[in-house]
A and B are shown apart, each in its own frame.
Chain A
Amino acid sequence: MIRYTLGRLVSLGLSLVVASLVIFAVVEVVPGDPAAYMLGVNARPDTVAALRAELGLDGTVQERYLGWVTGMLQGDFGVSYTYRTPVSEMIGDRIWVSLPLALYALSLSVLIAFPAGIYAASRRGRPGDIGVMGATQLGVAIPNFWFAMILVLIFAIKLRWFSAGGFSGWDAGVWSGLKSLTLPAIALALPQAAILARVMRSSLLDMLGEDFIRTARAKGLSRRQALWRHAVRNALIPVLTIIGLQFSFLLAGGIVIEQVFFLPGLGRLIFQAISARDLIVVESVVMLLVFLVIVVNFAVDLAYAAVDPRLRTRA
Chain B
Amino acid sequence: MSLLSIETLGLSIGGTGILRDVSLTVAPGEIVAITGESGSGKSMTALATMGLAPDRAATTGRILLDGTDILATPEAQLCAMRGREMGMVFQEPMTALNPVQTIGAQVAETIRIHENIPKAQARDRARAMLTRVGLPEDRFPLSRYPHELSGGQRQRVVIAMAIALRPKLLIADEPTTALDVTTQARILDLLRGLTEEFGMGLLMITHDLAVVADMADRIVVMQNGAVVETGATPDLLREMRHPYTRALFAASAHAVDLPPAPAPAPLLEVRGVHRSYRRPRRSLFGPRPEIQAVRDVSFTLNRGERLGLVGESGCGKSTLTRALLGLEPVQSGSITLGGAPVWTDRHPNLAVRRQMQVVFQDPYGSFNPRHRVSRLITEPFHLLPDPPQGAARDRKVAEALTAVGLAPKDARKYIHEFSGGQRQRIAIARALINDPALIVFDEAVSALDVSVRAQVLDLLADLCRQRPLSYLFISHDLSVVRTITDKVMVMQAGEIVEQGPTEQVFSAPRHPYTKALLAAAPQLPDLRTTAHAP
Given contact pairs A7-B284, A211-B92, A310-B145, A216 touches B98 in the complex (Cβ within 8 A): yes
Q: Is the CB of A313 within 8 A of B147?
A: yes
Closest chain B CB from A79 CB (angstroms): 40
A3 touches B113 (CB 8 A): no
**For window 70-115 of chain B, which residues contact chain A by CB distance below 8 Å?**
75-76, 79-84, 87-88, 90, 92, 95-101, 109-110, 113-114
* B232 within 8 A of partner (CB): no
Q: Give which listed residue, A6, A7, A307, A315, contacts B100 with CB less than 8 A.
A: A307
B481 at the interface (CB under 8 A from A): no
Q: Is the C-beta of B148 less than 8 angstroms from some C-beta in chain A?
A: yes
The listed residue (B97, B100, B161) touching A233 by CB distance below 8 A is B100
Indicate whether A218 sits within 8 Å of B113 (C-beta atoms), given known contacts A3-B284, A7-B284, A309-B100: no
Closest to B100 in A: A233
Chain B contacts for A212, CB-based, 8 A: 95-99
Q: Are A234 and B98 in contact (CB under 8 A)?
A: yes
Question: Is residue B50 contacting chain A, with contact meaning CB distance below 8 A?
Answer: yes
Per-residue interface assignment for chain A, residues 265 to 305, with 1 indicating a CB less than 8 Å from any chain B CB and 0 otherwise: 00000000000000000000000000000000000000000
Given contacts A6-B284, A212-B95, A233-B100, contact A309 B75 (CB under 8 A): no
Q: Is the CB of A3 within 8 A of B283?
A: yes
Are B95 and A210 in contact, with the CB atoms below 8 A? yes
| Interface status of B281 (Cβ within 8 A of chain A) | yes
Distance in Å: Cβ of A56 to nearest Cβ of chain B: 37
- Compute how far the CA of A210 lies from the CA of B99 in the bound complex, rounded to whole angstroms: 11
Contact A217 B284 (CB under 8 A): no
In the complex, are the beta carbons of A234 and B161 less than 8 A apart?
Answer: no
For B81, the closest partner residue in chain A by CB is: A220
Q: Is A215 an interface residue (CB 8 A)?
A: yes
State the CA gap A229–B112 with chains docked (Å): 13
Residue from B83, B95, B99 within 8 A of A219 (CB atoms): B83
Task: Answer whether A220 and B84 are a contact pair too, CB < 8 Å, given A210-B95, A211-B96, A315-B280.
Answer: yes
- B158 at the binding interface (Cβ < 8 Å): yes
Contact A308 B52 (CB under 8 A): no
The docked-state distance in angstroms from the alpha carbon of A193 to that of B96 is 32
Task: Please give, as numbers and ranges, the residues of chain A lying within 8 Å of B236 by CB-CB distance.
Answer: none
- Shortest Cβ distance from residue A11 to the other chain B in the assembled complex, whole angstroms: 12
CB distance from B175 to the nearest CB of A (A): 13
Minimum C-beta distance from A220 to chain B (A): 3
Closest chain A residue, CB of each to CB of B107: A219
Residues of B within 8 A of A234 (CB): 98-100
CA distance A313 to B101 in the complex (A): 14
CB-CB under 8 A from A7, the residues of chain B are 284
Asked if A225 CB lies within 8 Å of chain B CBs, one says: yes
**How big is chain B's contact interface, by range?**
35 or more
- A241 on the B face (CB < 8 A): no
Contact count band on A = 20 to 34
Given contacts A211-B95, A212-B99, A309-B99, contact A219 B283 (CB under 8 A): no
B179 at the interface (CB under 8 A from A): no
State the CA gap A216–B162 with chains docked (Å). Answer: 10
Interface residues of B in 138-181 (CB under 8 A from A): 145, 147-148, 158, 161-162
Interfacial chain A residues near B162, Cβ < 8 Å: 218-219
Whether the Cβ atoms of B147 and A310 lie closer than 8 Å is yes
Chain A contact surface mostly: helix
Kindly state the separation between the CA atoms of A105 and B246 in the bound complex, as whole angstroms: 69
Min CB–CB distance B178 → chain A (angstroms): 11
Contact status B100-A220, CB under 8 Å: no
How far in angstroms is the closest Cβ of chain A from B82? 4
B97-138 residues at the A interface, CB under 8 angstroms: 97-101, 109-110, 113-114
Interface residue A214 (Cβ < 8 Å from any Cβ of B): yes
A179 touches B (CB below 8 Å): no
Is there a chain B Cβ closer than 8 Å to A230's Cβ? yes
Per-position binary interface string of chain A over residues 202-227, scored 1 when its CB falls under 8 Å from any chain B CB and 0 otherwise: 00000000111011111111100100
Q: How far is the CB of B197 from chain A (nearest CB, A)?
A: 21
Contact B100 A308 (CB under 8 A): yes
- The reply to whether A217 and B52 form a contact with Cβ atoms under 8 Å apart is yes
Complex interface: chain B residues within 8 A of A220 (CB): 79-84, 110, 113-114
The chain A residue with its CB closest to the CB of B82 is: A220
Specify which chain A residues have a CB less than 8 angstroms from the CB of B90 in the assembled complex.
211, 214-215, 218
Chain A residues with CB under 8 A of B95: 210-212
**In the bound complex, what is the Cα–Cα distance between A233 and B90 (angstroms)?**
22
Q: Are B82 and A219 in contact (CB under 8 A)?
A: yes
Q: A212-B96, A309-B147 are in contact. Are A218 and B88 (CB under 8 A)?
A: yes
Q: Which residues on A sit within 8 Å (CB–CB) of B110?
A: 219-220
* Residue in B closest to A306 when the chains form the complex, CB atoms: B100
Contact residues in A for B113 (Cβ distance below 8 Å): 219-221, 225
Residues from chain B with a CB closer than 8 A to the CB of A310 are 99, 145, 147
Interface centre among B84, B95, B114, by most chain A C-beta atoms within 10 angstroms, is B95
Which parts of A214-271 form the interface with B (CB within 8 Å)? 214-222, 225, 229-230, 233-234
Task: Looking at the assembled complex, report how far the CB atom of B352 sits from the nearest CB atom of chain A, in whole angstroms.
Answer: 37
Additional A-B contact list (12), CB under 8 Å, known A221-B109, A309-B147: A3-B284, A210-B95, A211-B96, A215-B97, A215-B98, A218-B82, A234-B98, A308-B100, A310-B99, A310-B145, A313-B145, A315-B281
Interface residues of A (CB under 8 A from B): 3, 6-7, 210-212, 214-222, 225, 229-230, 233-234, 307-310, 313-315
21 sample A-B contacts, Cβ–Cβ < 8 Å, listed by A number: A3-B283, A3-B284, A7-B284, A212-B97, A215-B97, A215-B98, A216-B109, A218-B52, A218-B82, A219-B87, A220-B80, A220-B81, A220-B83, A220-B113, A221-B109, A221-B113, A222-B75, A233-B100, A308-B99, A309-B145, A314-B280
